[in-house]
Structure 1
């Protein structure tokens, strides 16, 4: 029997997630959102929502979220829920800063990966070997990582120049680069504020301006993950452990080994995201630096339906909303309220077309409230700006929950030979 039968879904059981959105439809949706964004920019005068600087900041904010999401994807495709991504990121920030301060930023990147992987080993031992509840283990790891890094900081950073018990000394930069000629040309085009053209220039320009080498590595890991998990026999065996470990074992797959490998890789990705925060995003380690990005990365993975491409879109969305806060975007968030209200109107039309009249009525009411909020105010409080990434996370998950399909054995305990 071919191992390809492991992951083959039964006929007539497409899964709870329903049909996947085809690429042409997805591209049309993205194009529609870009056009609406351009219209909103012209109406509100909030040119910053599609500026090159805004998009560049959004990419930088999306990278640690995306890396955490990739870590969650590897673990959950093997059947292990990884709530401990936040703790693994915390370990990555501390180990990355500690090694980066002493031996250089690239060494810090390596140690950040190792730090996250060490946390993942603890999670794998607890969940795979001792069958501890995955949620309990992940939460415990988050608490442990926070306490350990605070304890270690007192001995390593407190007496160092420009360091303290809550902050590391500055770390040397990895450097940044632009695409010669193209970056400056797109920024000039963006500054003209033309309809749609300038918005596209800002989007593309932000992706190729002020790039860190680690950003390029992180982006390349998305297609690399897709290729390994969906185009190799190793990936097939790993995914089979998250779909049907009993069937996988009957075909000779060492389920425990693949779960351990997946969780350790998961921790390495999360640790890399943490190292990005302390080495690239701010060039110092700060207590509480992750700020819940591990959880947001997990949300991006769920939003992406446990697929790398969807995960990247989710990370980009959450990174963009986070960038509004980083760039002092009270005016931009006010414009975003109008954009959300218009998108909700489109959602009402879609739900009515699907004959889901009650959800359509609720969505229409929310849309009306958003319009009233926009018209009745000229600005938004700073507290709303700060909370925007987390609110968007909750909204996106609640709206996309009906189309999701997690791996069938995700989070379920497995014992060797249980199928006999």
Structure 2
């Protein structure tokens, strides 16, 4: 298999080299962003943009998106497009709530959510891998099935339960939250003083390390674990080869069908975990429609992250942060965020100009000017616009990231065993 691994490692070689995010670059980018947010906070007085409450809420809102995106990553790295993540998340929310209530144990709900999502993934794998159904059609069918199944089961099981009904479950026991000992008081005191940079760092650290659900920690650890499995093991190399050149992988003895099945089932389980998080941790109750398109936003986060775990996590954090900001800070905080957008667009303009890309530079420059004018002539953002902020950010980051995307070569391609091309 040594030869197989060597050849498999070269599967992506014919493609043009793309930018790789290093730890040094990532840390510098995070430091620059924190300084920028601190400056904006001082200028605008919008203290919520770096508050501990906003950061804690952002993590809670980012986790379901990250799990859906991670599910998409597993499937698409094996060559199976999975737009059925939303339906798998729905199954995770319902089964997580049902088991959490039935066994009076939230961790039983987590396991049931994983299984519910994995069943959705298994159906998607059966349709796409075994029967060769178009991946998009199968994904849409899974979304419809997830909605129909959860609506039916809610009416049959939750109706008549104390606190339950046709569209919601009874309250679910909560999962323990933990904090780093001895840091809440000092960080909270420093945050309230609104000192440039120091208070912002205190707010961010308090949001990250105070009152964090154990399930949040588990979900976050799944991101580096997935990176290790997919990029640092022979198993992951074989799985990724199925998404790049399945014919070549089969010629080297890789069971392409098996690896695609594993990837799509794991994909469904990850999405189901995100759904279970929504019902058990985020709200403590199942409600119909509570996924609210997060499966699709997770797919967008995966694309923004260029089909890699680190970029996916950054995309999920961005979407979670904008969602938390509009929920906690309202129009004032989102209005302050416009200045951040202006600075980032100016940076994109300069970057594109230095690469002699006149048209993208001009577009980014015009957008920066328009956003700046809007900021100067307004004092706040209408409520209707703030609610749309996360979706708008989704569109913006995808449009700005489109030029550097590199999807797996055989992603979405229907594969039949024994084919020669």
Question: Which TM-score bucket, shorter chain as reference?
Answer: over 0.9
Matched residue, 1:113: 114
Quick one: distance in 2 between partners of 1:384 and 1:41? 21
Matched residue, 2:353: 352
Alignment of 1:396-407 (within 5 A): 396-407=397-408
Alpha-carbon RMSD across the aligned residues, in angstroms, is 1.5
Matched residue, 2:385: 384
Following superposition, the deviation at residue 359 of structure 1 comes to 1.8
Matched residue, 1:216: 217
Matched residue, 2:144: 143
- Extract unaligned runs of 5+ from structure 1: none
Asked whether the 8 Å contact 2:342–2:369 carries over to 1, the reply is yes
The C-alpha deviation readout for 1:42-96, integer Å capped at 9, x for no partner, is 1100010000110000001111111111111111111101100000000000000
The C-alpha deviation readout for 1:13-61, integer Å capped at 9, x for no partner, is 343x723244333332222222111111111000100001100000011
1:50 aligns with 2:42: no
Quick one: distance in 2 between partners of 1:184 and 1:260? 49
Quick one: distance in 2 between partners of 1:347 and 1:213? 38
SS of residue paired to 2:127 = helix
Asked whether the 8 Å contact 1:62–1:316 carries over to 2, the reply is yes
- Extract unaligned runs of 5+ from structure 2: none
Matched residue, 1:185: 186
Following superposition, the deviation at residue 128 of structure 1 comes to 0.3
1:90 aligns with 2:106: no
Quick one: distance in 1 between partners of 2:314 and 2:267? 19
Asked whether the 8 Å contact 2:326–2:333 carries over to 1, the reply is no
SS of residue paired to 1:7 = helix
Quick one: distance in 2 between partners of 1:204 and 1:276? 22
Asked whether the 8 Å contact 1:7–1:243 carries over to 2, the reply is no
Pick which of 321-330 and 199-208 moved more: 321-330
Query: Against the structure 1 CA distance between its residues 188 and 14, is the aligned structure 2 distance closer, same or farther, given a 3 Å change threshold?
Result: farther
Following superposition, the deviation at residue 351 of structure 1 comes to 1.7
SS of residue paired to 1:2 = helix
Quick one: distance in 2 between partners of 1:218 and 1:341? 33
Matched residue, 2:263: 262
Asked whether the 8 Å contact 1:90–1:290 carries over to 2, the reply is yes
Matched residue, 2:163: 162
Pick which of 181-190 and 35-44 moved more: 181-190
Matched residue, 1:81: 81
TM-score by length of 1: 0.97
Quick one: distance in 1 between partners of 2:141 and 2:185? 48
Alignment of 1:288-307 (within 5 A): 288-307=289-308
SS of residue paired to 1:247 = helix
Matched residue, 2:419: 418
Following superposition, the deviation at residue 11 of structure 1 comes to 9.0
Matched residue, 2:66: 66
SS of residue paired to 1:415 = coil
Pick which of 80-89 and 194-203 moved more: 194-203
Asked whether the 8 Å contact 2:159–2:166 carries over to 1, the reply is yes
Asked whether the 8 Å contact 1:192–1:198 carries over to 2, the reply is yes
TM-score by length of 2: 0.96
Query: Against the structure 1 CA distance between its residues 11 and 146, is the aligned structure 2 distance closer, same or farther, given a 3 Å change threshold?
Result: closer
The C-alpha deviation readout for 1:345-393, integer Å capped at 9, x for no partner, is 1222222222222222221111111111111111111111111111101
The C-alpha deviation readout for 1:209-230, integer Å capped at 9, x for no partner, is 1111100100111111111111
1:271 aligns with 2:267: no
Matched residue, 1:235: 236
Quick one: distance in 1 between partners of 2:207 and 2:411? 36
Quick one: distance in 1 between partners of 2:196 and 2:63? 28
Quick one: distance in 2 between partners of 1:20 and 1:404? 12
Asked whether the 8 Å contact 1:178–1:209 carries over to 2, the reply is yes
Query: Against the structure 1 CA distance between its residues 255 and 344, is the aligned structure 2 distance closer, same or farther, given a 3 Å change threshold?
Result: same
Matched residue, 2:37: 37
Asked whether the 8 Å contact 1:6–1:240 carries over to 2, the reply is no
SS of residue paired to 2:20 = coil
Quick one: distance in 2 between partners of 1:306 and 1:9? 18
Following superposition, the deviation at residue 2 of structure 1 comes to 1.5
Asked whether the 8 Å contact 1:94–1:285 carries over to 2, the reply is yes
Query: Against the structure 1 CA distance between its residues 182 and 289, is the aligned structure 2 distance closer, same or farther, given a 3 Å change threshold?
Result: same
The C-alpha deviation readout for 1:299-322, integer Å capped at 9, x for no partner, is 111111111111111111111011
Asked whether the 8 Å contact 2:48–2:329 carries over to 1, the reply is no
Query: Against the structure 1 CA distance between its residues 11 and 135, is the aligned structure 2 distance closer, same or farther, given a 3 Å change threshold?
Result: closer
1:19 aligns with 2:26: no
SS of residue paired to 2:178 = coil
The C-alpha deviation readout for 1:280-329, integer Å capped at 9, x for no partner, is 00000011100111111111111111111111111111110111233252
Quick one: distance in 1 between partners of 2:190 and 2:314? 25
Matched residue, 1:249: 250
